[in-house]
Amino acid sequence: MKNWITIILSGIAVLSLSACTLDDVNDVLEVTEDVLTAIEKEKQDTAEEPLKESTNILKTKGTMDPIPADLVRPVDGDTAVFAFDADSDGKKEEFSARFLLIDTPETRHPQLGKQPLGEEAKERTADLLQSGDITIEFDIGQRLDKYERILVYVYVDGQSVQEILLQEGFARVAYVYPPNTRYLDEFEAKQQMAKKKEKGIWSMDGYVTERGFNSK
């Protein structure tokens, strides 16, 4: 745009420094009109350029299809480390992951220590994650927790790891923060089945509480 302004000013300077005829004035006005038209077109072209969407999965809004992931290592009954391509650049990066909407007993919590069925839950999760192809799925809301762990639903060969852990009595439904509640009804139904049959964590009176697990 600076180039166009220079041309206009140059034309005005010529008229100011020389004796000009009506034809000269008309010529400069025609040039000025052409320049202004070009400037307006340039603005429109720039405004019409589409905004580029982020290719980083962690910054993308809305739901997505399940994403293939590799197991780096299981950590606990409801956490693991996965590797997947988050930037669509063909390179896989490692991410600590927290399984959405469930909670399993701790194995090495600094305050709670080792809780009953914590090791069993960890082993069951490890067995599941090592038994087939893993995919992860984000919900529509927050994608990272305060510890910078990704918040995901986890599948092995298309089966929900969360649902299996709930149905077998290794996990309780917990950490329900809308809008990340897409499968809450299904999870609660699986939990109710385990609770009714007194499986795992539900086999011990008073062990499961609204805030977690009673180790005392």
The answer to whether 182 is a known catalytic residue is no
Given 106, 120, 163, 168, the catalytic residue: 106
- The CB density around residue 113, as the number of other CB atoms within 10 Å, is 11
Cβ-in-10-Å burial (0-12, 13-18, 19+) of 208 comes to buried
Query: In the numeric block, which tokens belong to residue 150?
Result: 């990704």
Query: In the numeric block, which tokens belong to residue 22?
Result: 């009506």
DSSP one-letter code for 52: P
24 contact partners, CB below 8 Å, separation of at least 6: 15
Given 98, 124, 137, 172, the catalytic residue: 98
- The H or E element that residue 123 is part of is helix 118-129
Question: Which phi and psi (to 5°) does residue 208 adopt?
Answer: -90, 125
- The H or E element that residue 14 is part of is helix 2-17
Given 124, 149, 163, 168, the catalytic residue: 149
Q: Please say whether the beta carbons of 140 and 73 come within 8 A.
A: no
Report how far residue 120's alpha carbon sits from residue 112's, in angstroms, rounded to the nearest whole number.
Answer: 16
Report how far residue 1's alpha carbon sits from residue 51's, in angstroms, rounded to the nearest whole number.
Answer: 22
Query: In the numeric block, which tokens belong to residue 117?
Result: 């069925």
The answer to whether 211 is a known catalytic residue is no
Q: Would you please indicate which residues are annotated as catalytic (active-site) residues?
A: 98, 106, 149
